[in-house]
Amino acid sequence: MSSTNIDPNHVRIFDTTLRDGEQSPGISLNAHEKLEIAQQLARLGVDVIEAGFPIASPGDLEAVEAIAREVQGPVIAGLARAQAPDVESAARAVRDAERPRIHTFISTSDIHIVHQFRSTRADVLAQARAAVAHAKSFVDDVEFSPMDATRADLEYTAEVCAAAIEEGATTINVPDTVGYTTPEEYRAFLGGLYRLLPELHDVVLSVHCHDDLGLAVANSYAGVLAGARQVECAVNGIGERAGNASLEEIVMLLHTRGELSGLHTTAVTTEIARTSRLVSRLTGYVVQPNKAVVGRNAFAHESGIHQDGVIKERTTYEIMDATSIGLDANSLVLGKHSGRAALKQALGELGFHVDGATLNTAFKRFKEIADKKKTVSAMDLEALVTDELRESMPSYTLESFEVHASSTGSPHAKVEITRTDGTRSEAEFSGDGPVDSVFEAINLATGLDARLREFRVDAVTGGQDALGETSVVLEYEGQSAAGQGVATDIIEAAARAYLRALSTAVRKVQAIGEATDFSATEPVATP
Ligand code: KIV
Ligand code: ZN
């Protein structure tokens, strides 16, 4: 970009966790969860949050609107196909943002133009031009993406981008939609675009790479070396199919090896670990243990030689300091004598501002846990917030449970649950295992026939008295929903997670019943 007071070495981080990331199979975040992630992304200091694809569903529109209204700092972008209703929906969704952006796209590859759109290059060019012009009538900040560019004709892609720039696009993003390109090829493609279209120097060039061949980060880096000053990426690398370039890898690459290129981001690296945990918890997508930067083992040393080296001097086997991504969070510790004010302050330091009834709930749960566990760390509190404070009024809560399991008889569970109106019911069940018995007993107590789809147990921290964190995905009347539970006892954590998921599923079913207005709306295919 040639504009004067813009740092030419600043690489903008465009986070698409809530849009492309949310397109990962099985992820379905509600508006509240999306807002919470967006707030954390703002703390992480990303430059742009792509908050969703507003035309795709009323839920997406509502979430983007909420984020635009409530999240300060980053640019808030809404995605739109190169069609007037999409652009209008995106414009409506981002209108309350401090710095709104509309991101519109259409494919320039013949594979897509011929086989998917059954259109022509001329029509696509006209559509791109019209969509950018339309978007520009609502906002100053317009991004245009020629989808599947890396499999498209360079000259034609340059022509379409030229039209977008003429109509006022301020960012041109060149997607490797199917994760097909290689670093050398991508760099050459972008170099070719600069050559054919010198006006590209007057806007921000952006890269958007998918990881089908495991090259998303390498390709994005090649793009940056070719002149791109925006990288589109997602936390934990989630996204369509094999995912997007992983945000934490891009940020830490530029942070750790910035001297190679002289480039930098303005992301707050110490927020990386927390952002990764939050996204993993809310999406239900586990981070693989050996994942670069945020995997559980990314800073673990197993071999004796490595351990010996690191004890003597950390840099012998570590190229990044764990504290630089925020892995020192365990320094904050509360105990069973800590009071409500200390809990409130500790939660505040973690970015959760709680008061009134929510603080009371948190304090009650904190006391229960602190009674069983000597110390409650920041990671424990974070998990507790996930479990307890996210949803103000779950439809069902666990009052008590009892489980008998032995190597001789069938496991048996008894549960008592409370509804929001205060009514209670009990049920018991003998199933295949203790967890199965609890889940079936809950189905009987609530009178709901839900089916378990996924179940996972993790320890929040190390140590024998670590909190157990469970994630459940279940299906009820065609709606799937996820829930998390945290407790020192994993059966209790499982029951809590199941009831949370069930409460969400019931709400979804009710919402669908009430949303008659939208029943005639055609489903929108996501990009
Ligand atoms: O992968 C892709 O091409 C996209 C576009 C919408 C930018 O996600
Ligand atoms: Zn994509």
Ligand 1 site residues (CB inside 6 A) read 20, 105, 145, 147, 173, 175, 177, 208, 210, 527
Q: Rounded CA gap, 298 and 281, in Å? A: 19
CA dihedral of 334, 339, 340, 342, whole degrees rounded to 10: -50
Q: Choose the residue to mutate in 208, 220, 232 for probing ligand 1, maximizing ligand atoms within 8 Å of C-beta.
A: 208
**375: buried, middle or exposed (CB in 10 Å: 19+, 13-18, 0-12)?**
middle
Per-residue pLDDT, 468: 87
Which range scores top for mean pLDDT: 181-190, 373-382, 404-413, 420-429?
Answer: 181-190
Nearest-atom number in ligand 1 for the CA of 527 is 6
For residue 2, the CA-to-ligand 1 centroid distance in Å is 26
In this prediction, residues 9-30 reach a mean pLDDT of 91
Q: Which residue has the higher pLDDT, 25 or 6?
A: 6
Q: Rounded CA gap, 527 and 524, in Å? A: 9
In this prediction, residues 415-431 reach a mean pLDDT of 94
Q: Which residue has the higher pLDDT, 329 or 216?
A: 216
Amino acid identity of 208? H
Per-residue pLDDT, 77: 98
Per-residue pLDDT, 520: 36
Q: Yes or no: say if 242 and 211 are a contact pair by the CB < 8 Å rule.
A: yes
| Position 519 confidence tier, pLDDT thresholds 50, 70, 90 | very low
Per-residue pLDDT, 526: 64
In this prediction, residues 359-378 reach a mean pLDDT of 86
Residue 318: phi and psi, rounded to 5, are: -125, 125
Nearest-atom number in ligand 1 for the CA of 178 is 1
Q: Report the percentage of the chain scoring pLDDT > 70.
A: 94
DSSP states along 118-149: ---HHHHHHHHHHHHHHHHTT-SEEEEEEETG
Element (H, E) at 231: strand 230-233
- CA nearest ligand 1 atom 3, residue: 177
Nearest-atom number in ligand 1 for the CA of 16 is 8
Per-residue pLDDT, 513: 67
Nearest-atom number in ligand 1 for the CA of 79 is 6
For residue 147, the CA-to-ligand 1 centroid distance in Å is 6
- CA nearest ligand 1 atom 1, residue: 177
| Position 390 confidence tier, pLDDT thresholds 50, 70, 90 | low
For residue 177, the CA-to-ligand 1 centroid distance in Å is 6
**301: buried, middle or exposed (CB in 10 Å: 19+, 13-18, 0-12)?**
middle
> 216-250: buried (b, 16+ CB within 10 Å) or exposed (e) per residue?
bbbbbbbbbebbbbbbbbbbbbbbbeebbbbbbbb
Q: Which residue has the higher pLDDT, 194 or 310?
A: 194
521 has a pLDDT exceeding 50:
no
Over residues 274-316, the pLDDT tens digits come to: 999 999 988 888 899 899 999 988 998 878 888 888 888 889 9
Per-residue pLDDT, 212: 98
Q: Yes or no: say if 67 and 51 are a contact pair by the CB < 8 Å rule.
A: yes
Q: Yes or no: say if 424 and 418 are a contact pair by the CB < 8 Å rule.
A: yes
Average pLDDT, the chain: 91
Q: Which ligand is nearest to the CA of 207?
A: 1
**124-138, 242-256, 319-333, 416-430: which has the minimum mean pLDDT?**
319-333
**118: buried, middle or exposed (CB in 10 Å: 19+, 13-18, 0-12)?**
exposed
Amino acid identity of 150? T
Helices first, then strands: H and E counts in the chain: 17, 16
61 has a pLDDT exceeding 50:
yes
In this prediction, residues 360-377 reach a mean pLDDT of 86
List residues bridging with 13 in a β-sheet: 231
CA dihedral of 243, 381, 392, 420, whole degrees rounded to 10: 110
Q: Yes or no: say if 320 and 293 are a contact pair by the CB < 8 Å rule.
A: yes
Residue 84: phi and psi, rounded to 5, are: -55, -50
Over residues 217-265, the pLDDT tens digits come to: 999 999 999 999 999 999 999 999 999 999 999 999 999 999 999 999 9
Q: Which ligand is nearest to the CA of 172?
A: 1
For residue 175, the CA-to-ligand 1 centroid distance in Å is 6
CA dihedral of 342, 347, 352, 356, whole degrees rounded to 10: -40
Q: Which residue has the higher pLDDT, 38 or 373?
A: 38
Q: Rounded CA gap, 42 and 129, in Å? A: 32
DSSP class of 396: E
Q: Rounded CA gap, 367 and 387, in Å? A: 15
Nearest-atom number in ligand 1 for the CA of 105 is 6
| Position 387 confidence tier, pLDDT thresholds 50, 70, 90 | low
Q: Choose the residue to mutate in 147, 180, 219 for probing ligand 1, maximizing ligand atoms within 8 Å of C-beta.
A: 147
Per-residue pLDDT, 514: 60
Q: How many other CB atoms are there within 10 angstroms of residue 416's CB atom?
A: 15
Per-residue 3-state assignment (H helix, E strand, C coil) for 271-283 = HHHHHHHHHHHHH
201 has a pLDDT exceeding 90:
yes
For residue 262, the CA-to-ligand 2 centroid distance in Å is 27
| Residue 458, helix vs strand vs coil | strand
Per-residue pLDDT, 456: 87
517 has a pLDDT exceeding 60:
no
Over residues 134-193, the pLDDT tens digits come to: 999 999 999 999 999 999 999 999 999 999 999 999 999 999 999 999 999 999 999 999
Q: Yes or no: say if 203 and 165 are a contact pair by the CB < 8 Å rule.
A: yes
What residues have a C-beta under 5 A from ligand 2, the ion? 20
2 has a pLDDT exceeding 70:
no
Q: Yes or no: say if 289 and 282 are a contact pair by the CB < 8 Å rule.
A: no
Question: Tokens 């009538």, residue?
Answer: 137
